[in-house]
Every structure is written in structure tokens, then in C-alpha cells.
Amino acid sequence: MSLDAVRESLIRQEDTIVFSLIERAKFPMNSPTYQQSKPCVGFCGSLIRFFVSETESLQAKAGRYQNPEEHAFFPDHLPPSLAPPHTFPPVLHPAAASINVNNKIWDIYFKQLLPLFTVPGDDGNYASTASSDLNCLQAISRRIHYGNFVAEVKFRDAPHEYEPAIRAQDRDALMKLLTFEAVEEMVKKRVEKKAMIFGQEVSLDTTNSTESKGKCKIDPLLVSRLYDEWIMPLTKFVQVEYLLRRLD
């Protein structure tokens, strides 16, 4: 595993994130998906919680969380995997298993992001809405927790640089060591471009091409902002959390 290979994976994950946001933006806000059901009929709480926890339970049985890249939003009481056993290569320090920032991701996604990239309204497609939310959440969560792998590779490439900061439990020094501003700038520009390309109308009519009209299914600047303000800072937060425990 090299830093280049890890970055390649992050670049591929951008495609998944941008597409999942485009899919969610197909539906209006559909706020009943997020409201508490009263009274409890079949389940308590919001439809989104019900949908995510039930889906995670099924996916746990299918082995999803055997992969160290995957983190559940409701990790308590998940059923064991019934899938054919597979041993993933033990790349990470075991402390990685204790890092889960999905609560933060959940809050940011529903409170801040969703209102920015959906239009107000209610078309009744609550199940499809919840399903697309879960796709966005899982893609974003996988990307952010991939910070564990990024941090591991950076540590292995320069243990002598990282060890003093880890022993001193110095978050600021670790943050400085793992930050590459030029890479972050490229990421922001690339995801903006991907949102522009993936989100365009594709037409065969060359005389009246909508591609050239610049109509986009999701605002490319918003995707760049999403990376700038939430995804990259949380990925770096995961990296710091991992490194702080790397010598335990």
C-alpha cells in the first residue's frame, strides 16, 4: 500500500459521492422521511432511522462490516455476518476499530447538507429518498474513515517524523504533518469538475445541445464546498485520531 494507491482510491470514491448526491437531488426535501413518527406504528422515531438501521442489520448479515473500510451508523446490536468468511489484510492498527465519526456525519448531512442540495417540497417518495440518503451517507462515511488508511501509509512512510508528535499527543503537530494544501486544492477543483461533467444533461441533438447550456443536476460549487468544509476536515480528523493511537 502506497500513498499514491490510497489517493487513487479516494479519487475513485469521489465518483461515488458525486453520483450519490446527484441521485438524492432528484427528489425534493421530502421532510416526512425525517420526522418522528407519532404514534409508533411498527417502529419508533423517523423513517430514515428505521430505514438505515434495518438496512444496516441486513448488510451486517451479508458481511458488510467485516471490511475495515465500512462503519455502521447504528453499530450497536448488529447481527453477526452470515457471509462466506474472508480475511481482509490486517493493514491498520487495531485502534482503528474504535474510531467512528458517523454521528458527526449524520448530523452534518441532515442538518446542513441536505437543505443545500435539495429543493423544498414533498413528492411522497420517502423510501427512495431514504435509500438515496443512505447511499450518500455510506459513500461519505467510507471516504472519511479512509483517513485511517491514509494515516497508516503516511506513518509508515515517515515514522520518525510522526513518532515524537504521537508520543507528545500533539494534535496540532500531527495535523500539520499530514496536511498537503496543494492536494486539497486539487481535490476541490476535481470534484467541482466531476459534478459539472456527471451532472450534465446528455443529448444526441447536436444542434440544440443542453450539455453546452451549463444546466447541472447539482451545483458543482456546492460539491467543492462540501469537500472543503466537511469531507476533508473530517478525513483529517480521522487521521489525527488514528495517529494519536498508532503507538498504543
Ligand X SMILES: C=C(O[C@@H]1C=C(C(=O)O)C=C[C@H]1O)C(=O)O
Name the site residues for ligand X (rule: CB under 6 A).
7, 150, 178-180, 183-184, 187, 232, 235-236
Angle ∠(246,12,156) on CA atoms, nearest 5: 25
CA distances (Å), origin 232, targets 94, 147, 180, 181, 187: 23, 9, 11, 11, 9
Cis check: omega of the bond before 39, within 30 degrees of 0 = yes
DSSP-assigned beta bridge partners for residue 45: 37
For ligand X, give the closer residue by CB, 130 or 187: 187
For ligand X, give the closer residue by CB, 176 or 215: 176
Smallest separation, CB 187 to ligand X (Å): 5
For ligand X, give the closer residue by CB, 64 or 236: 236
Q: Is the dihedral of CA 226, 230, 231, 232 positive or negative?
A: positive
For ligand X, give the closer residue by CB, 150 or 243: 150
Smallest separation, CB 184 to ligand X (Å): 5
Smallest separation, CB 186 to ligand X (Å): 8
For ligand X, give the closer residue by CB, 58 or 186: 186
Nearest to 151 by CA among 131, 171, 136, 133: 171
Smallest separation, CB 243 to ligand X (Å): 11
Do 117 and 218 meet the contact criterion of CB atoms below 8 Å apart? yes
Smallest separation, CB 157 to ligand X (Å): 11
Do 166 and 84 meet the contact criterion of CB atoms below 8 Å apart? no
Smallest separation, CB 105 to ligand X (Å): 14
For ligand X, give the closer residue by CB, 33 or 141: 141
Do 201 and 211 meet the contact criterion of CB atoms below 8 Å apart? yes
